[in-house]
Structure 1
Amino acid sequence: MNVSLAKDLSVYQLVMGVQVPPKPLSLSPATLLSLVRAQIDLLIEQQIAATLWVKLPPEKIWQSELARYQSSVGASSLIYTCQIDDNGKGRAGEDEGGGEENTPSSPSSSSSPHHLTVHLPPDSQLRRENFLMVLSPQFCSLILAHRPLKKRKNQISTKVNTNKNQPLLIITTVEGRVIQQVLDGIQKAIAPESSPIVPADFICPTVPQGALMTQLFAKQLLRQDEINRQIITARTTKLQQLNQELHDKEQLQDEYLKNLCQELRTPLTHMKTALSLLNSPNLKPPQRQRYLQMLNTQCDQQNSLITGLLELLQLERNLEGTALESVRLSDIVPGVVSTYQPLAQEKGIMLAYTVPTELPSIWCVSGGLRQIVISLLHNSIKFTPNGGEVWVRARLQGDYVQLEFRDPGIGIAESEIPKIFDRFYRVRAAATEDYGGAGLGLTIVQQLLLRCGGSISVKSKLYEGSTFTVQLATVNNPPRAIAIQKE
């Protein structure tokens, strides 16, 4: 059976066109679901064989109610399911109640002689409406949900608001005069070539039996209570998750402040010790020089820590809104390597690089690539003993440019590798060795790479050296966030 309806049909307008129409209430989609479920409960309990006219969201939670009724009442029922014909365009997101009407059929088989599809044109006014109309000699009812067009200042938009949590204008009625008006309107809107729908002599009962109404109200209360409990449970779970996230965030902040205080206290303790020793009257010149050098070193350490902290805070505050720019490695790496050549020569380290000029440009935040190269190259030189070789190599790997920093330095113990990007963490080759620094360089590198869709991996063995490999997206590859990898 083929049934089609005219595009100008609106159940909501038909209802509002009766004399003294029922008043619509602004309710949630969850309330609409509870009303539908209560209606189906009553039909199943009383085994009322009815003709149903429906237009509900395509999600399983809605369609399962129709399947539940049909499986219980069986062949004595008839269901007309209204469906927008989008002609394969995949027009989605305009269906009522939070669904996307982009599937050609509902979960119930439209090929069944007791379940028929009613075709609606793509621009049908019913696109903004959902309804369940029950037609039987014992009981008639209508549940209707209408989502108004989104209003804008000084104008009305033709765009439908599809927010799932947006309140709906819901009408529920058992008045025969209202339901008969809707039925008559549907019959007039049926295309001439369509088959007839209900018997021509069918008339809605004016008022349903009192016992049926009492049972319906009871079931509506039960279903609404069930929906409310589900909503409360979901909200409680969400609040618990938010509380846990806040708790975890507070713990991280406490740990951060604890580490920060410890890092600030350590240089101050060393400086206070040196100052007290300098006051000794029996201090010899070599000792005085050693303590003065200690003061100078610890002041540098304190300055490095404060500078690194300020840089990290500024980076975290501004990084999200910082635009990415196109930059070539061959414009950055040679200059940074030249800057570090005097330091490498002073330590007897051979410093070299290989960066082909034909490499494509990559995405990075403004100034970010230079900062990454400086930080990783500085670490390679700092942890490499005299006579070592430090290499910087770049090459193309698919949609990424790979930048590698290799050194034969002190290496990183396997247990330390997962910690090297943590704030204030500094690698120590032995308990008595301290290579200085604020322990923030790799943290900053990590933040920069996450912003520009890059990644970094680390391979290292203690006393054998380390290799840091950075991948940066080329300009032809849209940048995306990539997790830090540690090997």
Structure 2
Amino acid sequence: MDTDAPVTLQTCLSESQLRGQIPVTPRAFKAILQSLIEFLQSRSLAATLWLKLPKEEAWWEDIRQYCQQLAEPRVYLLGLEPSWPTAPDRSELPYQTIALRKDDLKGEYLCLAIADNFACGLLAFRRTQAPGEASRRNLSLVCFASPGALQSIGQGLQSLLHHSPAGQALLTQNAGGLATELASSAALIDDFLSWQLRAQNELRATLAEARKADSDLVPSSKPGDSIDRAFLDAAGQELRTPLTTIKTALTLLNSPNLKPPQRQRYLDMIRRECDRQSALVTSAIELLQVQTAAPPQLQPLQLGEIVPGVVSTYQPLARERSITLAYTIAANLPPAAGVEPWLRQILINLINNGIRFTANGGSVRVTAAQSGDRIALAVEDTGTGIGSADLPRVFDAFFRRLPVEGLEGIGLGLTMAQQLLQQMGGVIQIKSSPGRGSRFTAMLLAYSE
């Protein structure tokens, strides 16, 4: 590396290491940074921190709490001047400043944590925006934990230290851990990946609540416009947040010291997350197609011919968990008005939902009967039930409750059922209470000539 040229950590990483970058907003980067710090804190890992972050106070709150919990942490601030009004108070956050030249780390943010048996880092840098891309998503993020990437970043930081008197002193003192072999135990990396997945699920829930609050406060200028924009924003976040963990696992697969059991765990995790993302993309596209479809031509549908076939398809899944899945069709039931593939999809989503939230040994029952001028198609389960606070949100896109035995869905099944019903002139009703199960009733139009 040319010692006179500006130091940028992005250029220290190889093409394969940079392949794991994902576009993020500053808010998403801050959330992932917070997750890393909370992981260190929860595991009582006394890490040396190398930091270059925005100067605003909000970026430093979690780091301060972490440093207050641990005895005499080592924190190196790259280019942060203590004279800044919002700079961390040295009495609260003991740190050492490493001066930067004008263009060193320009447009880059870093958090590198080095502890015993664990090393991990986040590097974000400004990126060129694609045409039509939202201006707020102007960072690329690389989460690195593989020995190769850690070594590349460590070498870049050592080059940076040569240009600072404080940095030169550090170079004679093992450079704050940079001169040691940066590697993590497989158990801690597994733990961190699982932690990140949980944190991303919590972030999705928080964003969903924020989006709902925004849509309640800001009315749409055109019917449906705000719903579509909110849905697309939510779908984009759903697709991006797991990618950090997936791409981190991919970089770890390159480690020559990785044992076969750890390698298989990473491969299984990547495969599982990719399958989930694939299902999400398919469902999101289908939902958007339904939302923008022209009013359908309704046909007479005999529920006595449709319900048994759908139920029999899902009985093997129910039997695996000793769940009784059965149906009852009222005699002489008149035909419902609808679109057969749509009605099948509604029933599939409701049965799936019932099985997912019912414990082993419970039951899910499908019934169809006439109710006034409507046909009531109901799916009732003996599952966990829904609290009053969650009832208004169950049809929101990407809203999730905690399922039984970790059988998490993608959060679009009930949304799709509601949208399909509305397109066919129907509505869906819920009766539920915690611990006593739920009953979802699709109220369909009765067919008339």
Name the TM-score, length of structure 2 as normaliser: 0.48
Query: Is the radius of gyration larger for structure 1 or structure 2?
Result: 1
Name the TM-score, length of structure 1 as normaliser: 0.44
